[in-house]
Amino acid sequence: MDRTLSPGPKVAILRRDGALNRHPERVGDALFAEAFFDPRDLVQIKYEMLRRVQVDGASITAVCAAFGFTRPVFYKAQAAFARQGLLGLVPQKRGPRGGHKLTGEIIAWLKAGLAADPSLRARDLAQRVRERYGFSVHPRSVRRAMVRRGKKHRWASR
C-alpha cells in the first residue's frame, strides 16, 4: 500500500495539526519504506533525523539529503528538541497568537460604548477603534474579542 497517496483519518489529523509532510516522496530513507515509519508524519521524520545524527553519528548533510530537508530545517529542529523535547518537533501554528491589537483597555472601552448604545454593530465598533486609536481592526476581530471576553451581544454569534 502506498501511504504517500492514500488519504485517511491519519492524514486528516496530521493536516489539521500542521504535521503533514507535504512532500513525503522526498523522504528516501530506507526506514520510511517500511510499515512502521510514515513519510507523511513530520514529527517522526524530524525525530529520526536527529536520532541518526546524534546516536548513529551520521553526517548532517547526508541525513538531510536522505530525509528531504535542508540543513537549516535540521538545525531548527535540533534546537527545538533541545529546548522542549519531542513537543518541540510538533509544528507550531503560524501567525499571531490571539488578538494583539485589541488589548484589555480597548475591549473595556468597547464594552462601555456597547452598554451605552446596544444598537452598535461590530462594524461600528471597529470604526470607533480606528477613529480613537488610529489603527484598523476587522469587525470579525471585534466580534471574536468580545465573545472571548464574555460579552454576549445579538451579533456575537454571527
Full residue range of the structural domain in which residue 136 is found: 104-148
Is position 72 within any domain? yes
Is position 128 within any domain? yes
Q: Is the predicted pLDDT of residue 156 greater than 70, yes or no?
A: no
What angle do the packed helices 71-84 and 60-67 form, to 10 degrees? 100
Residue 103's φ and ψ, nearest 5 degrees, are -75, 170
In angstroms, rounded to a whole number, what is the distance separating the alpha carbons of residues 19 and 11?
9
Is position 127 within any domain? yes
Which of residues 156 and 35 earns the better pLDDT score? 35
pLDDT band at 49 (very low <50, low <70, confident <90, very high): very high
Examine the domain organization and report whether 80 and 134 are in the same domain. Answer: no
Q: Is the predicted pLDDT of residue 5 greater than 60, yes or no?
A: no
Is position 49 within any domain? yes
With CA atoms as reference, report the closest residue to 140 among 128, 116, 123.
123
Our count of domains for the chain comes to 2
